[in-house]
Structure 1
Amino acid sequence: MIGLGRVGSQVAITLTQLGHEVLALDRDPKVVQSLSQQLTHVVQTDSTDETALRQLGVPDFERVMVALGSAVEASLLTVLALTEIGVSEIWARASSNAHAKILNAMGVAHVIFPEAAMGQRIGHLLVSRMLDFVEIGADFALAKARVPGDMVGRSVAELCLWERYGISLIGVQSPGQNFAHAHPDLVLPPDSILIVEGTIDQVQAFAALT
């Protein structure tokens, strides 16, 4: 992980908590020091320096993410250095469409717009009754919604959600319980939370039934 701002640091911490080996790099010594208790391998360095990257073993890592979205020049020079030392898969955060186009032209495998993605998610939540929302592709989504009142006490098979609403029920959470996979014989309890999938319009329409 190169760049330990809000996005980079949180991704690095999450990966570490998931049990992955993470080498985190930033040129600011204060940032490095602040994360030294949360990350196992965090180093102050200039990520545009090919020699420094080689010495740290960066080419040995399966993936490298460049989270220097606001520092466009440093981001591009870092990607160039990573390419030169033979990193096979590079992910990078972009701050604009122009930045993203250059990253794509440089061979970056995945270009990420975290602010735009979060803005889209919040926008959908603001204008709907969904409890949570994850867009997958151009017109498909997973959504969390409360069980509609007229569906309480009825089985998944009886409700025919696909035929009536064009959505599939993935999971159900009863009050005080963890989510469980939905199956045809499952009866929806009161005050439960549902995970559904379908087009964006379909999951929004289903959430509006609550």
Structure 2
Amino acid sequence: MFGSHPAESQGRGMSNAVAVIGLGRFGGALALELMRNGTDVLGIDHSESTVQRFNGKLTSVVRADATDEEVLRELSVNEFDRAVVGIGSDIQASILTASRLVKFGCPAIWAKAITDPHAEILTQIGVQHVVNPESDMGARAAHLIQHRILDFVPIDDGYALVRCTPPEPIQQRPMDLLNVRHRLGVSVVAVCRPGGQWEPIEPGTMLYDDDQILVTGPTRKVEHFSNLT
């Protein structure tokens, strides 16, 4: 997509292309997953060995100093609609690179942070999406340990989506008769039967102990729901 050199790209508006700057564990995994999902990726890293490792796995991969504004312009990063700063250990490089993207007016920027102050600075300079993988995973693990939850996804402050097994009190009864949303303040939105696929909850759906369900609502309420006996 990017031609023989990234600078040959067609400019801003490449809705199915993402620039990923920093191909460490976070950025590299993200870039590969984007490729698997059919998204073109321009990967940039300062390490020659890292660039060689991703050669042939991404649409284009380049060794470059991403803190240099002119270098980013030469690579047409200023024309991408979406960019990810995966640099974590070098906070100065992370902030400088993110500030270049903000200056370019990139509509959607994601950046990895390794500390709360790092995250705060990224937010203050205009990064729209700040990710703190270790902190986020620690908080997520705490919810899994404390409750009968198989997976936990925070949606917003105080609101979450969880995957769990149906609590005994709601098993083997049609969902429309349970009135879960009114009684418990949560919404059961989908069910997966053993060996099956996820399906939306219908009024007459009945749940069993070997099912898995997706439940959304205020965090405390979905946790309480998962612990019902």
User: Same fold judged by TM-score > 0.5?
Assistant: yes
RMSD of aligned C-alpha atoms? 1.7
2:77 counterpart residue number: 58
Q: Does 1:158 align with 2:177?
A: yes
Gaps in structure 1 of 5+ consecutive residues: none
User: Structure 1's 108 and 204: CA in aligned 2 closer, same or farther, altered over 3 A?
Assistant: same
Match of 1:29 in 2: 48
Superposed CA offset, 1:123-162 (max 9, x none): 1111111111111111111111112234332111122211
The answer to which of 63-72 and 95-104 deviates more is: 95-104
Q: Which amino acid aligns with 1:8?
A: G
1:146 — aligned with what?
165
The answer to which of 1-10 and 86-95 deviates more is 86-95
Can you give the 5+ residue segments of structure 2 that lack an aligned partner in the other structure? Answer: 1-19
**Structure 1 Cα separation of the partners of residues 172 and 27 of structure 2:** 45
Matched, 1:10 2:29: yes
- From 186, 192, 197, the equivalent of 1:167 is 186
Instruction: Give matches, 1:21-170, under 5 Å.
Output: 21-170=40-189
Distance, in Å, in 1 between the alignment partners of 2:168 and 2:195 is 19
Q: Which segment is superposed worse, 32-41 or 193-202?
A: 32-41
Q: Identity of counterpart residues, as a percentage?
A: 39
Name the amino acid aligned to 2:63: Q
2:5 aligns with none
Residue 206 of structure 1 aligns with which residue?
225
Distance change (3 Å), C-alpha of 1:139 and 1:49: same
Equivalenced residue count is 210
CA contact under 8 A between 2:160 and 2:219: conserved in structure 1? Answer: yes
Partner of 2:4: none
